[in-house]
Amino acid sequence: MFLSTKGRYAVMSMIEVASLGLDAPVQLSKISESQGIGIAYLEKIFSNLKRANIVSSFKGPGGGYSFTNRDITVLDIIRAAGEKIEMTRCRGAGCMPGGIVCKAHKIWEGIENNIISYLSSLRISEIAGLKDHAELFDPLGYKGIIQDKVIYFDNNATTAPLSEVAATMVEILPNALNPSSVHMVGKGAKKILERARANILKKLNAGDDYKLIFTSSGTEANNMAISSFDRCFTSSIEHSSVLNNPKAISCIPVLKNGQIDLSKLEEAVSKIGDKNTIVSVMMANNETGVLQPIHEVLNICSAYGVYLHTDAIQCMGRIKIDLSETQVDMISISAHKFGGPTGVGALIYKKSIEPSQIMFGGNQEYNLRPGTYNIVAIRGFEAAVEELQRSISLYAKTSELRDYIENKILSISKGNAIIFGKDSPRLPNTSSIGMVVASAQAQLIHFDMDGIMLSAGSACSSGAMRTPYVQAAMGYEEKIANSAIRISLSPANTIKEADRFICAWETMYSRFY
């Protein structure tokens, strides 16, 4: 985008008008003196601004120009000055031979759309009131004029710690706590550790059948589970920490609805000769939210004498997990997915199983996971689990907001949008939406510029865009799979935020239809 001197001076002048007084007229001579712009040039600019009803003029000794209203944006001013907001790009519906649109075409449209969105969010009156204009470009979006505009729809990536959790962690943070120390302070830390272990098992109704190892994350818990066996049969939609394990064999396909093909699972495990094998099927998919039939999976595994591990990381705090009812052999959970701190997870396993070490050093955690305990995070983990029932009740209500968003989008698109796994049982807060006409990457840029935080799937790839293997495994062609974005709600999200997301979605969609 190229902005001429005329457009630049128009914005500078209006910021000056706002700075000198929103209510009283400002003379052009003051603007000229302050900004170093000639009076004659200013008269031409303000003639255009007046014609566009951006300013009003007043004659007489106290005359000058003033705002017509306080909601004037930078975009309004640039357009009133006669500037065009468009990127240099190829023209026409078909810019390649044969009427084909080039692959770069949508990129330039997306950038242009994001520039327009950003400029329309900048009110001149608010800019003039900022003491530090660097606030306009705060990378986290929590300062300055966009503070109240950030919408967080990425709770499957991580959740904000609950206030109760933060307070509990702060309470013990000043203390030197190492449960491995044999002195009195160390024994106190040991009590915190073992109480947290017992309470987490109790909240999951594990009884006396299970043990718990604290880990640094759900990823580590998944790795420890799979590494404890000779081989692991997995579905094609598991988290990368399962699929990328050297012992994992992805051989269980999923159906179009996102649930695993139970007949293929049985076919696979029926051929196993060596029983030192584990099947790993996630309880709920992190991208689509589709719930897997874990009870049926467990029945098949039990019938053929193989073990079952389930990655339940996205389920904690969102749906009920009762290990007395679903007696899987191993289960992975992580605190930061349900209002706990980052940096702590757990592998829960039946006492009859002997997990393998994947780290070596000290004798912590039954000689299986050496290293000094992150006792502050473990206490926060316990505090989050103490709020488990309340969290589940609140998350159950997010299904109404999720359905509202999905129904609006399907109505806007006249059925052209896709909700992946819509007809399957799902987590109440998760929706995977395909726009089809726009790539996920272009959509993420568009929403991010509008202050809406969401994702295109797992956040465990260091921000890298990757092949949308979950939707592809469900049988969708590459173009459709590549358009999938994920919204994952929390109980704190509102109908107002949903409406703003829907509006932003429709704005981008309308560029193609």
Residues annotated as catalytic (active site), given as ranges: 460
Backbone φ and ψ of 155, nearest 5°: -75, -10
Backbone φ and ψ of 310, nearest 5°: -130, 135
Quote the CA–CA distance of 141 and 513 in Å, as a whole number: 31
Which residue do the tokens 């994992």 mark?
248
With 0-12 CB in 10 A as exposed, 13-18 as middle and 19+ as buried, what is 134?
A: exposed
Chain centre distance of CA 242:
21
Q: Is the separation of the CB atoms in 226 and 280 below 8 Å? A: yes
- Say whether 52 sits in a helix, a strand or coil: coil
Quote the CA–CA distance of 151 and 488 in Å, as a whole number: 11
Give the list of residues 6+ apart from residue 120 with CB closer than 8 angstroms, or none: 73, 74, 75
Which residue do the tokens 């329309």 mark?
120
Q: Is the separation of the CB atoms in 512 and 439 below 8 Å? A: no
What tokens does 369 get? 């996971």
Residue 132 per-residue DSSP state:
-
H or E element that contains 499: helix 495-510
Quote the CA–CA distance of 90 and 304 in Å, as a whole number: 60
C-alpha torsion angle, residues 459, 460, 466, 470 (rounded to 10): -80
H or E element that contains 82: none
- The beta strand positions in 259-385, using DSSP E, are 277-280, 307-311, 330-334, 345-350
Quote the CA–CA distance of 65 and 20 in Å, as a whole number: 11
Q: Is the separation of the CB atoms in 206 and 348 below 8 Å? A: yes
Q: Is the separation of the CB atoms in 463 and 453 below 8 Å? A: no
Residue 456 per-residue DSSP state:
S
